[in-house]
Structure 1
Amino acid sequence: MLIRHINSLFTLTFVLNYASALTSDGLSLLSIKSAVDGGDTVFSDWNDNDDTPCNWTGVSCANISGISDPRVVGIALAGKNLTGYIPSELGNLAYLRRLNLHDNNFHGSIPDQIFNATSLHSLFLYGNNLSGDLPLSICNPNRLQNVDLSHNSLSGTLQKYLGNCRQLQRLILAGNNFSGEVPAGIFPALANLIQLDLSSNAFNGSLPYDIGQLKSLSGTLNLSFNHFTGKLPPSLGELPLTVSFDLRHNNFSGEIPQTGSFANQGPTAFLNNPLLCGFPLQKTCRDNGSTVVTPGTQSLTPRVNGDESKKGLKPGLIILISVADAVGVALIGLVIVYLYWRRKDSNGCSCSCSRRFGGNSKSKFCWFPCVSRFPNTDSEVESEKGDGGGGGGGSGGEGGKLIAIDKGFSFELDELLRASAYVLGKSGLGIVYKVVLGNGIPVAVRRLGEGGEQRYKEFVAEVQAIGRVKHPNVVKLRAYYWAPDEKLLISDFISNGNLASALKGQTSTILSWSTRLRIAKATARGLAYIHECSPRKYVHGDIKPSNILLDNEYQPYISDFGLNRLITITGNNPSSSGGFMGGALPYLTQTEKVNNYQAPEARVSSNRHTQKWDVYSFGVVLLELLTGRSPEFSPPTTSTSIEIPDLVKWVRKGFEDETPLSDMVDPMLLQEVHAKKEVLSVFHLALACTERDPDIRPRMKTVLESLEKIRT
């Protein structure tokens, strides 16, 4: 410490002797040049004979009312691999607002003196090697809003003086060596705190009872990977309903409360707390030796009394099982006989659909196999056994069925064959046609491929499950056709292109902010339904603007839901999706080598699909709605490691550097100045969705609730 002060004193003495023309702010900044190893090379344009430091790399200035010369308001030297210490002279910068030194190799302690810069409101020092305690003077700047000291080697305990940072909005201390109990009395004073991250430290003891008074908190309360003990305070349930908990890897005990915000949490929030029990964990709580089944769970091990567990099956149960087996065998026999006689009685037919939907004289099948009879709405079809003419007749007499999933949407296969058809496009998810039926209703018909003949039951089960997902903002699957050499999906046709085309100006209407917000909300409703209310609580897996279709009223419809799974069954390559399911012609897109809407963990092929992948993708869509930029607006990285898409990194850096909002939002929105607060709210929500750690991202239900609160 003494050596550091001697070096700083020497630097200032040298500068005073030879750089009298430089402003006082410039003199203070030269201390960084002295404190960094190889500073003369790194800061080659920081010259002591300049009149002002405002043109130096990483320095920003502003005109202050009542002061003639511009003053230093920002220092941005992040990610430059700088090695050295943070000089205390930075505290002399009276108008410094933001200090960004993150992702370097600064060591030593954080000097108390830098908080003499009373205008400071953003301090980003994460990703260094800083050590020591949290400075006692940290709350001296009464405008301090953002403090991110994560991923250093800081230690010590949290003290009540943190409650003096009354304007604080973000306190991120993750990945350090802090320890001890978190005292009561801090959180009630932090009325503006919207983000709290104390994860990956060594905090212990019970949570303070007043933690539930963080009424402005949003996103995720992250207390994971610590040594917290005791029961969860019921006051946690008083936090806003949009807050997600991350309490993993602690030593909490007792039953999880079932009040307020606790009811909105999934099991992931409480994992690896061996002594926690109750819903939503699949672990029951025991009271006086008896097992209490928590609502929503079941005991996996039946309780037995006496020697019942040692007894064999009762005679009556054995007879019942035998009868059931006999009935099952008889039913299988009847099905086999039925299929045999049906195949024997099938009639040949000529192929009349040649050249209409892709069939031709050289192909071995028609797009729709030939029709011999229509006994019911399932439209049984038979294939021609091959008469040597007109494009072939299928696969040796093996037919298929056109099955209507929506019983109110019935039509015969021959009606589909006679209808006018137009090619919409082709992607890794199949060729898509617009077909206008005889009653004038257009439908979208997707041809999935020829394979998968051995997986009929799996295909039908998957299609039927997709068909049960019915929501106003999800494209409806109306019917499907299956044959050994042909699989088709018939869905609603959405007429006005997709969101990708609209954002690129390929439609006649420029999307206003109110329209974009309405699209975001409705898309969130559809995706939240898929996650929370669909029969299997699905993952979409491919959310992006080209898969968000728009009708003439700019109402969005999520398309291509469930198709990746169906493509896997049929054997095609699901390399990309063009948003064709139900879409109009603008959905024709190039196959993408990299899907920049995918979450970082989704790019590892061995990882299992999760709903948090969709949340990340939706966050990127929100950023595109806000900025008008696609995720690949700058050249993608050539590194083989997992990287966050450029758009996400660009927006995060913009907020850290406090880039003016006008430089980040879509220029088309600049005239809607009244929407500034709404735009900021959506920006913060999008950044929460695109957190690198999937466990920190909110659930889609929480995202929807946050969006619904933005403007009615």
Structure 2
Amino acid sequence: MKRFHFSVIVFLILIVFRSSGLSPDGLALLAFKSAVSDDPGGALAGWSEDDEDPCRWLGVTCANVSGFPYPRVVGVAVAAKNLSGYVPSELGSLIFLRRLNLHGNRLSGSIPTPLFNASSLHSLFLYDNNLSGVLPPAICDLPRLQNLDLSKNSLSGPLPPELRNCRQLQRMLLSQNGFSGEIPAGVWLEMVSLVQLDLSSNQFNGSIPPDLGDLDSLGGTLNLSHNQFSGEIPSSLGKLPSTVSLDLRYNNLSGEIPQAGSLANQGPTAFLNNPGLCGFPLQIPCQDRPAGPPGRQVAPPVKEAAQERKGLRTGLIVIISVADAAGVALIGLIVVYIYWKLKDHDKCCSCTGKSKLGGEGERRGGCGCWPAGGGGSEEGESQKDAESGGGGGGGEGDLVAIDKGFSFELDELLRASAYVLGKGGLGIVYKVVLGNGIPVAVRRLGEGGAQRHKEFVAEVQAIARVRHPNIVKLRAYYWAQDEKLLITDFISNGNLATALRGRSGQPTLSWAIRLRIGKGAARGLAYLHEYSPRKFVHGDVKPTNILLDGDYNPYISDFGLIRLINIASNDPSSSSSSTGGGFIGGALPAIKPTPTDRPNNYRAPEARVSGSRPTQKWDVFSFGVVLLELLTGKPPEFSSPSSSSTSLEVAPELVRWVRKGFDDAKPFSDLVDPVLFREVNAKKEMISMFHIALACTEADPEQRPRMKIVSENLDRIGP
């Protein structure tokens, strides 16, 4: 209260006695300067009452507002300056303030309720200070507040039920405070915009509110770790989006982990250090309860495992099937399995913590540690060591670096949180965030092929030598008799199939972005066909295998994997003797469709003949269908195919529809995506791409151009 009175007095003195025409916003900021008791770096030294306005002050942003003769303050960012003091109420008079960032200082005291009179605030960053007191209920009176970060303070008390009024809030970060009590129920269904929620490292207790599962806008991580939550995990959390990583570590939760919805996608790291939890994916069976769905194997009881250890070295190794009823598996299960395998080998020394992927590997005291990419500093040395076998044919696993600049420890993989990105015929793919914050994609290939280590390594090395800006880069691989993993870059913005549809189900990409995607994907495929060491055939070109980064640059993924899958699944038909010939020296076997195969509507007509072998002209046709989809916004089949014939005349409905449209001279507006038709200046560019796509989708493979020509023709379109 004394601080409040002092700041009001200073504020009034400045109004009465200021000798210049400093704007009211400047006076409010001078009140903040007066509330700062220590400014060791002189961050506020240039804030002077002699100025007309504060717009040139360090950390202050202004904008002209209609109806005012002077600019108004819209942003204040004085972060990480070691300022001591408190947050004054006068900042609430900045009615046009949109962003207040005071993080990384030593500000103390409570958050003043009058601060929330700044009704234009959409971002409030006060984290990493010494603020205390409760979370003011008036915080949700801000009609535009989207980002709230109060983490790393000393705030306490319960969360107010008024949070239900924060319908526009997108990010609420309250970790590392002293909040306590039960999380209020009945508020989360109202917070319809919430994307990120972090309540970790507090003192919350009671049960987890079931309505947290109603946060269907969440993405990233829902972090409730390091609290005192008790009771069972509500199965309603399974309603959360599948991309949400759940963190419930270090609580007092109990009971069996529900296998509902997105809960089945969580790795074991999401549930660690809850002594009462049991069931999949933890290695703790639930007594007197079913251990899991039919077909799933679980770890033996501790007593039984201890007895087996006396007779067999591998007594604690549990072969865990990851194919459950929903067809979803967890990378955490795999890495925990690897961890126990390494830990329990002859009661050996720890194999983690010293040997880094891409650095110096070592074997201490006969311990079966993994090799670290050959221990050389050059990429060629790493490849040479991998090709020599590296002991991979034995029972122990090899973790091998392909890229000399890529370094992480196996421990990091074991500890990392993970969730399933997708599952298909080419293995299960997970996103794993390493300890340094770098995300990678981990693909599990299979459990067989124990006697085919050299074949596997040769194929991996061939894939690893493919380096192109529009091709996903292989960084490392793991080999064991009953486990094979590929570790690649994680491409952050999903795939082309998702981007074309948009969240509303309608195409949203501009023509410039679509043209960029088409050009980049063509360059990547042309490199695979013409310049890669083995002249690869992709064999499965479609929008889901064209990944996009944040700038919509495309990356070709999933090439060269069919043979690796066959090796890992012990398919003898994948041997070089039975698949030789073609463009890739037998890296792809003949296609053997099964009744359960999903229809691939991007496949060339000749590819629909049973037993046919992939060729580069397959890829050209599939890429042509992708171009038509970019142009029209329509999928290759916008109704069910009229015939299941495998005749060479069969083509996707989209191809036949576009050809008929050009033959009948239909108006251009009838063919192109309505979103693109508004870009009238690009009409000639679109027509040029139509002609390239139609050339790629010729029924006769010999009439299709090579990907090199396709790429060159696309590069001539536009600037």
TM-score, reference length from structure 2: 0.49
Report the structure number with the largest CA radius of gyration: 1
TM-score, reference length from structure 1: 0.49
Flag the structure with more relative contact order, 1 or 2, with Cα contacts below 8 A and sequence separation at least 6.
1
